[in-house]
Amino acid sequence: MSGVLVVMEQRAGVLNRMSLEALAAGQQLAAKVGGGCVAAVVSEAGGLKVAGVEKVYSVEHALLKDYTSDGYVDALEQLVKKVQPSYVLFPHTYQVRDFAPALATRFMQVLISDATAIHDGPVFVRQLLQGKLNADYKQTGDGPCFVSVQAGSFRADAEAGADAAVEVFTPELNAGMIRNKPGEPFRESAQTVDLSAAPVIVSVGRGIGEESNISIVEELATALGAEMAASRPICDNGWLPMERQVGSSGQTVSPKLYLAVGISGAIQHLVGMKGSKAVIAINKDENAPIFEVADYGVVGDLFEIVPALTKAVLAAKS
């Protein structure tokens, strides 16, 4: 057992950005532990190019056309047994969340999920309590170590170099062992609100407490000529429509100003708004992770700060 195997994710023949970040993490890890870095891509018929590694395994089978956990776990179990890497890295995508824990179980190992950094040891850093704390994890078992990496934690290399040599790997799969029948992906309904173009966004989170309080944030948004957005729990509760949700399961925005009110800053929210030019956060908890991405921060009660700000904005405009 040696080296690092990075399992990359493709959709319709395109590798996603998080896979390139996972590859960067794999290279970083390989530099620490030695043994080199190879990649794998699972697909129906191969044809994908990966740069910056020694070799890429193209895991190909007709039964891998549509993603199923059963198909992926069986195929990758066979690949890991063949390649014998010390570490297997993945991007922490929805798909990886669906199969990688089961794959690790096949080897009686535990996936270290959603890692944000890799230190010497190697020690894998991940967040606890939705980003309030960090934790260091180490592998103590002696099989391959499975790790998924968080979006945005590693910088994908722009100049990746030459395309890697491809080795086709055909796993033994049979249709009978694939128990789930996946349907085509779909979107709920046509989106009528496009937040991606909004120059100013005022976003409200669970700190607002009750639906009837949302009006104080709406007044601020109106004063600023801003679009309203929200964190997931606000939309889950039906206090604002789903299409105003920002984050990994909502919209991705990059306004001139993103003003976050009573939002803690969980990673699934941050990935949707990290690209904003300026971020202002109002939160009563000085340790809230939202301050990690904020240019200006106010630690305080939103019920005092927001009305005062609305008043000041209106005064400045008149």
Partner 1 sequence: MKILVAIKQVPERDAQIRVAADGKWIDEDDLSYTINEPDAYALEEALQLKEKNGGEVVVVCAGPERVTSTLREALAKGADRAIHIEADDLGERDTLGIAQMLADAMKGEAADLILTGLQSDDLGLGQTGVVLAELLGIPHATIIMQVEKTDSGLRVKRELEDGWFQHVEMPLPALLTIQSGGNKLRYATLMGIKKAKTKETATVTASAAGAKAVSLEKVYLPEKQKKTEMLTGTPAEIATQLVEKLKFEVRVL
Ligand X SMILES: Cc1cc2nc3c(=O)[nH]c(=O)nc-3n(C[C@H](O)[C@H](O)[C@H](O)COP(=O)(O)OP(=O)(O)OC[C@H]3O[C@@H](n4cnc5c(N)ncnc54)[C@H](O)[C@@H]3O)c2cc1C
58 contact, one of ligand X, partner 1, none, CB 5-8 Å limit per kind: none
Task: Measure CA 149 to chain center.
Answer: 8
Given the rule CB under 8 A, which of 36-44, 47-55, 67-75, 168-176 is the region that contacts partner 1? 67-75
Q: By CB under 8 A, is residue 200 in contact with partner 1?
A: yes
Residue 231 near which of partner 1, ligand X, none (CB within 5-8 Å, type-dependent): ligand X
Per-residue mark of binding to ligand X, 211-250 (x: CB under 6 A): --------------------xxx-----------xxxxxx
Q: Is residue 93 involved in binding partner 1 (CB under 8 A)?
A: yes
- Concatenating the DSSP letter of every residue in 269-306 gives HHHHHTT-SEEEEEES-TT-GGGGG-SEEEES-HHHHH
* Count of alpha carbons within 13 angstroms of residue 286, beta-carbon side: 0
135-174 footprint of partner 1 as x/- string (CB under 8 A): xxxxxxx-x-x-----------------------------
Asked if 268 is part of the footprint of ligand X (rule: CB under 6 A), the reply reads yes
Residue 183 interacts with partner 1 (CB under 8 A): yes or no: yes
Which candidate, 300, 269, 294, places its Cα nearest to that of 281? 294
Question: What phi, psi does 49 have (nearest 5°)?
Answer: -105, 135
**How far, in Å, are 28, 155, 199, 220 from residue 193 at the CA level?**
40, 31, 13, 19
Specify the amino acid at residue 134.
N
List the one residue from 122, 207, 255, 297 that touches ligand X (CB under 6 A).
Answer: 207
Q: Is 52 left (phi over 0), alpha (psi -120 to 50) or beta?
A: left
The one segment of 14-22, 80-88, 108-116, 264-272 that binds ligand X by CB under 6 A: 264-272
The single-letter code of the amino acid at 186 is: F
Q: Name the residues that contact ligand X, by CB under 6 A.
A: 130, 205-207, 231-233, 245-250, 262-264, 266, 268-269, 272, 282-285, 288, 301-303
